[in-house]
């Protein structure tokens, strides 16, 4: 993490009489390991229940980030977190939260989405980490936190967390 820079910005959105302030965290990592470490630091802001959207192209590092998040919740070893591209949902149970890592890349219709019954996974104790969730407007509306990852170099990834 030596080269990592963390910038904390509190942006005020004028919506009087209820001012909304949102915290945005931004970092550029330079290896998969740094992204995993950053994922570990996010655990505090991801206390359940949460619906988290993970945005970014294929290979951006979404699944890599989940390795760190799952490890921080003692729900899985980093190496046991793999892409749910074909399995669609991976469940990792920890002492303080149940994590559901979901990949909607191959899900295109509402009917297909319904078969996953994601609502049944939501509970006081659950954290849904959804890749490609922005394909469905509902998740964009309902998400508590959004994490956007962008490939800015061979091993460089810009990660912006807002929520």
CA atoms within 13 A on the CB side of 130: 28
Q: Give strand ranges (E) for 37-154.
A: 50-55, 89-93, 98-103, 126-131, 145-151
By CB under 6 A, is residue 60 in contact with ligand ADP?
A: yes
Q: How far is the CB of 155 from Mg ion (least distance, A)?
A: 17
By CB under 6 A, is residue 62 in contact with ligand ADP?
A: yes
- Residues 21-40 within binding reach of ligand ADP (CB under 6 A): 29-32, 34-35
User: Considering CB under 6 A, how many residues would be counted as binding ligand ADP?
Assistant: 18
Q: Please check whether residue 100 is in contact with residue 129, taking contact to mean a CB–CB distance below 8 angstroms.
A: yes
By CB under 6 A, is residue 6 in contact with ligand ADP?
A: no
- Residues 52-71 within binding reach of Mg ion (CB under 5 A): 62-63
- Chain residues binding ligand ADP by CB under 6 A are 29-32, 34-35, 56, 58-64, 83, 131, 155, 157
């Amino acid at each position: 993490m030596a080269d990592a820079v963390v910038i904390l910005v509190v942006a005020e959105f004028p919506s009087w009489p209820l001012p909304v302030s949102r915290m945005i965290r931004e970092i550029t990592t330079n290896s998969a390991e740094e992204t995993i470490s950053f994922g570990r630091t996010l655990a505090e802001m991801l206390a359940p229940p949460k619906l988290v959207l993970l945005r970014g192209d294929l290979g951006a590092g979404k699944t890599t980030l989940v390795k760190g998040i799952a490890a921080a919740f003692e729900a899985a070893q980093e190496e046991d977190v793999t892409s749910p591209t074909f399995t669609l949902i991976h469940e990792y149970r920890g002492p303080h939260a149940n994590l559901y890592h979901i990949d909607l890349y191959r899900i295109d219709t509402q009917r297909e989405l319904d078969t996953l019954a994601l609502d049944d996974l939501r509970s006081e104790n659950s954290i849904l980490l959804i890749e490609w969730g922005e394909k469905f407007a509902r998740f964009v509306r309902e998400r508590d936190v959004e994490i956007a990852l962008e490939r800015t170099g061979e091993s460089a990834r810009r990660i912006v967390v807002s929520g």
